[in-house]
């Protein structure tokens, strides 16, 4: 099931301008990979996405640099 929103979250829309050390939430990761948020959690648990970090009591985020690397690997695998 793909994400429901056609409007990207601001962090996903501005991904190219963010430093590798920036953090993004599951909504942005789901939008970038065109999957549901539940799929992001499953992929992270299964090692298909980098492990997210708990950055607050109710906040879990991914490193922009690690997400960029995952996107690049996915693109490379799809091209092969």
CATH number (domain holding residue 21): 1.10.1660.10
68, part of any domain? yes
Give residue 40's domain range. 10-79
The confidence band for 4, taking pLDDT boundaries of 50, 70 and 90, is: low
Say how many domains are in the chain: 1
Q: Is the pLDDT of residue 74 over 70?
A: yes
pLDDT in tens, 52-61: 999 999 999 9
Residue 67 near residue 29 (C-beta atoms within 8 A) = yes
5, part of any domain? no
Kindly report the pTM of this predicted structure.
0.87
**Average pLDDT over every residue of 28-40:** 96
The confidence band for 44, taking pLDDT boundaries of 50, 70 and 90, is: very high
**Average pLDDT over every residue of 3-13:** 79
1, part of any domain? no
In whole angstroms, give the CA distance from residue 45 to residue 11.
23
């Amino acid at each position: 099931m793909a994400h429901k929103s056609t409007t990207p979250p601001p962090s996903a829309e501005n991904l190219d301008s963010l430093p590798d050390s920036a953090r993004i939430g599951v909504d942005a990761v789901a939008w970038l990979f065109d999957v549901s948020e539940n799929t992001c959690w499953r992929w992270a648990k299964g090692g298909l996405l980098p492990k997210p970090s708990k950055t607050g009591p109710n906040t879990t985020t991914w490193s922009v640099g690690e997400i960029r690397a995952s996107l690049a690997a996915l693109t490379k695998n799809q091209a092969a």
